[in-house]
Structure 1
Amino acid sequence: MDKKRIVVFIGPSLPLKEAKKILDAEYHPPVARDDVVVLLNDPPDIIGIIDGVFYQQPAVSHREILRALEAGVTIVGGSSMGALRSAELDYAGMIGIGTVYQKYRDGIIESDDDVAIVFNPLTHEILSEALVSMNHNFQMAEKEGIITLNEVETLYQTAKNIYYPQRTYPRILKDSKLEENKKKDLEDFLDSKGTDIKAEDARKVLKYIKTMV
């Protein structure tokens, strides 16, 4: 049987080195407008969309993803741009994977601002935190009794009101007016148990695709 051709658009959500250990594929930088259209000149069997550009240049369009689906390409998304587009296009056959996809699908989050970050374009080093991961970690801290539900909401609103490139844990804790002892306990929790759900979802997307080949 011929080996399936797989193209994955990935960026800061998961280090490329780790991605390659999970799935043998052609890895491209975060998807932008017309990148999927270009692939249709020689269509792959499967396209995985994890990361994509939001504000730096035009984002991948719904139309080009629909064209690829109509051409018989299997498209799997999750984690970041892939989660957003799959929640919008799962009705047409795009496959959504992971927690972030489910939150978009269920209307728990709606804006691309919830997954937007800034990163070094050369190294893909993450320079800000994704709101969706931050809120997940605040909720986990509440379950462990570190902060209250009201404080989760305060932290979330504090983070939401900060422009996404400046959204970091130190900045939010500084602006939140949380009691100093709670700030310290929350910092310790984030250091020891903080989860990057975008990275987790990126791994899930790659593992899912691996089951298809």
Structure 2
Amino acid sequence: MVSELVVFLGPTLSRAEAAGILDATYLPPAEQGSVVRAVRQYSPRALVLIDGSFGRVPAVRHKEVLWALAKGIPVFGAASMGALRAAELSAFGMQGYGFIYRWYSMTPLADDDEVAVAMSPPELGTAPLSEALINIRLTLRRAMHAGIVTADERCKLETLARDTHFVERSYPRLLADARSTFSEASAVALDRLADWLPSGALDRKREDAIGLLTKLARGSGFVGKPLNAPPFRLTEAWAYDLDAAGLWSDDIKLILSDEGS
């Protein structure tokens, strides 16, 4: 099967909305082996990494992105796991897009946790079940500038959000924790924030994903062979990763023959 574009998408943006922007083959969030499988199955003109899985499965490996780049396949990233990998691999030809990608590129020690969210399984649509820390922090900054909370209250709310495990982060949880720990003097501000959030909250991950898909739909993102993509070098660790992803028996001979081994 041949597909112009393959997009790894999950909780950041619904597949229906994404498909309305860009005609592509949409796959669940990438994990270890996903890039290799997609290239072997779809022979895509380009790959787009937005969401990725981790924790319950190994995350998509840097090495398989490098392998795709070395084969001349442009790889784009934005919003979530895609922004992370693009920031890490931009020197090798992966192309990043959006605010979150730029922020990770300029903040080498930033936590992966900033974009992590809980999500439902692929069978249930990989819907988001929590809120990303980076969205919460940007929303609180906006609330401060709008006079909803003070600078001190914003800092305390950010600390509460950061100290909450990513699977439990949400605005209702944040407000409940704040009400139980802040002084009574902040009660009015928290009520203001609760009333403001439905219209004022930012979702930067979603905005970045829409921006990248729109750019690609307009045909303004494609290049030829990825810039700076180095020749791919086979390693023992790469072979172990393929084996762990269940690709050894099916594809390893083809992959090795592709690389001239």
- TM-score with structure 2 setting the length: 0.77
Deviation at 1:147, TM superposition (A): 1.2
Tell me which residue corresponds to 2:86. 86
Structure 1 segments (4+ residues) deviating >2 Å: 39-43
Find the aligned partners of 1:47 and 1:123 in 2 and give their Cα distance. 20
The count of residues paired between Structure 1 and Structure 2 equals 211
Deviation at 1:154, TM superposition (A): 1.2
Whether the 8 Å CA contact 1:84–1:112 is kept in 2: the answer is yes
Whether the 8 Å CA contact 1:78–1:86 is kept in 2: the answer is yes
Identical residues among aligned pairs (%):
38
Deviation at 1:123, TM superposition (A): 3.0
Residue 111 (structure 1) aligned with residue 118 (structure 2): no
CA-based RMSD of the aligned residues comes to: 1.7
Find the aligned partners of 2:142 and 2:154 in 1 and give their Cα distance. 10
Whether the 8 Å CA contact 1:138–1:152 is kept in 2: the answer is yes
Paired residue type of 1:153: C
Tell me which residue corresponds to 1:66. 66
Tell me which residue corresponds to 1:145. 147
What does the per-residue CA deviation read over 1:143-191, in whole Å, with 9 as the maximum and x for residues that have no partner? 1111122222211111111111111111112222342111111112211
Whether the 8 Å CA contact 2:10–2:125 is kept in 1: the answer is no
Tell me which residue corresponds to 1:199. 206
Point out where structure 2 has 5 or more consecutive residues left out of the alignment: 223-261
Find the aligned partners of 1:108 and 1:197 in 2 and give their Cα distance. 19
Find the aligned partners of 2:196 and 2:154 in 1 and give their Cα distance. 14
- Over alpha carbons, which structure has the higher Rg? 2
Residue 25 (structure 1) aligned with residue 24 (structure 2): yes
Whether the 8 Å CA contact 2:3–2:24 is kept in 1: the answer is no
Structure with the bigger percentage of helix:
2
Whether the 8 Å CA contact 1:76–1:209 is kept in 2: the answer is no
Deviation at 1:103, TM superposition (A): 1.3
Point out where structure 1 has 5 or more consecutive residues left out of the alignment: none
Deviation at 1:125, TM superposition (A): 2.6
What does the per-residue CA deviation read over 1:58-84, in whole Å, with 9 as the maximum and x for residues that have no partner? 000111101111110011100100011
Deviation at 1:141, TM superposition (A): 0.4
What does the per-residue CA deviation read over 1:17-67, in whole Å, with 9 as the maximum and x for residues that have no partner? 100000000000000001111233253111010110021210001111011
- TM-score with structure 1 setting the length: 0.93
Deviation at 1:109, TM superposition (A): 6.7
